[in-house]
Amino acid sequence: MELFVFGKGLVLGLAIAAPLGPIGALCINRTLERGFWAGVAGGLGTAIADGVYACLAVAGFATVGTLIGWIERPLQVLGGLFLIYLGVLGLRKRPEVSAASVNARGLISTIAATFLLTIANPATILTFTAIFAGLGLTAGEGGTTGVLLVSGVFFGSLVWWFFLSAVVSLLRKRLPDGFSVTVSRISAVILIAFGLAALMHVLLALL
C-alpha cells in the first residue's frame, strides 16, 4: 500500500514536469551552456517547488484555493517579468560551452531561478488539485501517506530533469559547433514569449 502511494506521487511528479514549457527551455539552455549539472540544478529548483505545491494540496484544497485566488494576478505578473528578464539575459550573453565553468554560486542561482518561476505559477497548484482529486486523494492526507505522496512527487519531477539533462548533455557532444548557441537563443526567445503571454493574460483579465 505504501509503495503504491509513493508510485502515485512518482507518476504525478513525472506528469507535471514532462511538458516542455518555459522551465524545460531554461533547463535545456543551462545544460547546453554549462553542462549536465547545471541542467539538473534547474530541475532541482522545479522539483522543490513541485514538492511545496504537493504539500499544500495534501494539506487542504479549500484553503489553498482561497489563497491562490488572492495572489494569482501578482504572481502571474512577477513570473512573466522574470521570464522576460531571463530571456533577455540569454539573448545578450554568449553561452559558455565548458561544463567546468559551473561553480557553486552558479548552481545555487539556477536552483533559485527555477524555484521562483515554478512557485510563481498559480496554475501549478490548480493542476495538482485537479489531478489529486482525479486520483481519489482527499484533502488532509497526513502521516506516512502524505509524506510518501509528496516524496513521490518530488522524486518523480527530479527523475524527469535528470533524464532531460542527460539526453541534452549527450547530444550536445555530437552536435556541430554553434548549435548550442543557436538553441540557447531559441530557448531565450521562448522564455520571453511565455513571459509576454503571462502579462497579456493578466491584462486581458483586467479589461
**pLDDT at residue 153, as a whole number:** 86
- How far apart CA 84 and CA 140 sit, in angstroms, is 37
**pLDDT at residue 48, as a whole number:** 92
- How far apart CA 122 and CA 127 sit, in angstroms, is 9
Ranges assigned E (strand) in the chain: none
CA angle 129, 69, 48 (to 5 degrees): 50
Contact present, 43 and 158 (Cβ < 8 Å): yes
- How far apart CA 173 and CA 161 sit, in angstroms, is 19
The mean pLDDT values, 10 residues at a time, for the chain of 207 residues are: 77 76 78 84 89 76 56 72 78 51 65 83 64 54 72 89 88 68 72 82 81
Sign of CA dihedral 161, 170, 34, 107: positive
pTM for the full model? Answer: 0.67
Give backbone dihedrals phi and psi of 186, rounded to 5 degrees, phi first.
-65, -45
**pLDDT at residue 67, as a whole number:** 59
- How far apart CA 79 and CA 196 sit, in angstroms, is 10
**pLDDT at residue 97, as a whole number:** 42
- How far apart CA 33 and CA 134 sit, in angstroms, is 39
Q: How far is CA 159 from the centre of its chain?
A: 13
**pLDDT at residue 183, as a whole number:** 65
Contact present, 163 and 40 (Cβ < 8 Å): no
Query: Whose CA is closest to 47, among 79, 24, 80, 13?
Result: 13
The residue assigned the cell 512557485 is 119
